[in-house]
Amino acid sequence: MAAPSYSLGKTLLKIDNVCLEYDGSPVLSGVTAEVRDIIVPGRVQGQVVGILGPSGCGKTTLFRIIAGLLSPTSGRVSVNGFDRPVIAGEVGVVAQSYPLFEHRTVLGNLMLGAMKKEKNAGAAREKVMGFLKEFGLEDKYNLYPAQLSGGQRQRCAIIQQILCSEHFLLMDEPFSGLDLIMLEKTCELIAKVADMDDLNTIIVVTHDVTAACSVADHLWLMGHAPGEDGNTLPGSRIVKQYNLIDRDLCWHPSIITTARFTDFVREVKEEFRRL
């Protein structure tokens, strides 16, 4: 299979030389990357970026900075071409526990998100019901979170954040603790959300290399880079980026069964182990 024809449009999210220190010790140092609009003729194509790295490498810290929940010591993250740092709420956050208000129904939870964008309650409800139908949850609108399965809670949490932030979604360890079937369904769900709009950008923070390779079009590998003297440089950064489109390793459902995909996962894991 040949790599699909595509071009890159405007920058949707930019991480510009982000540094963070705690008590004078660098945690992040010179983190720089960007997500650009992927344009594929004849179809809607969103963006999925996987952020990988060993425990303690600063993934969660970068996650919070991208979400606008933590300010870096220097540098900034910006979205939509705005000449300012990202503001909390511009990037939706789906936490690992899929938090929802337990005393509110599914509809009640999602209306809270919809009313942040819509001034009219009728329009907000229509939008919510449209998403519930799209995600196969239209018959669950009157249930409470405790009555939902884990997969249904995940879908509700995703809808909630899409309603709030529209195009940007950060997911924290969405593959953790899932069995094989649920892992496959989660990868399918992430791809579905991304491809609902050309501007949709899903950023998945995980340590699951295989799952990230299965769903992403780009990977950012975080860790500590070696200096000229052989010692690691202070602070974590993005040490390597992978473009899976150019390698023809994404957008084909059967690609994960090929030897090329297996070899790529092995390549990333070997790099992972060196960090």
The angle at the Cα of 242, spanning 235 to 96, to the nearest 5 degrees, equals: 65
Q: Give the pLDDT confidence of 148-195 residue by residue, as tens digits.
A: 988 888 889 888 888 888 799 999 988 887 788 888 888 888 998 999
DSSP character string of the chain: -PPPP-EEEEEEEEEEEEEEEETTEEEEEEEEEEEEEEE-TTS---EEEEEE--TTSSHHHHHHHHTTSS--SEEEEEETT-SS---TTSSEEE-TT----TTS-HHHHHHHHHTTT-SSHHHHHHHHHHHHHHTT-GGGTTS-GGGS-HHHHHHHHHHHHHHHHTTEEEEESTTTT--HHHHHHHHHHHHHHHTTSTT-EEEEEES-HHHHHHH-SEEEEEEPPB-TTSSBPSSBEEEEEEETTTTT-SS-GGGGGSHHHHHHHHHHHHHHHT-
Q: Give the pLDDT confidence of 215-247 residue by residue, as tens digits.
A: 999 999 999 877 777 777 888 999 999 999 999
Q: What's the pLDDT score for residue 3?
A: 62
Distance CA 64, CA 68 (A): 6
Q: Which of 106-110, 148-152, 210-214, 231-235 has the lowest mean pLDDT?
A: 231-235
Query: For residue 99, what pLDDT band results from cuts at 50, 70 and 90?
Result: confident
Look at the chain and count its residues.
275
Select from 3.40.50.300, 3.40.50.2000, 3.50.50.60, 3.40.50.261 the CATH code of 9-36+54-206+214-242. Answer: 3.40.50.300
Specify the pTM. Answer: 0.90
Domain ranges in the chain?
A: 9-36+54-206+214-242
C-beta atoms surrounding 226 within 10 Å: 13
Q: What's the pLDDT score for residue 217?
A: 97
Q: Mean pLDDT score of the chain, rounded to an integer?
A: 90
Q: Which of 24-28, 164-168, 208-212 has the lowest mean pLDDT?
A: 164-168
- Section 11-26 average pLDDT: 94
Q: What's the pLDDT score for residue 1?
A: 55
> What CA dihedral angle connects 83, 199, 116 and 113, to 10 degrees?
-130
Q: What contacts 76, CB < 8 A, 6 or more positions away?
A: 16, 18, 84, 85, 86
Q: Is the pLDDT of residue 4 over 80?
A: no
Share of the chain above pLDDT 90, in %: 61
- Section 133-148 average pLDDT: 92
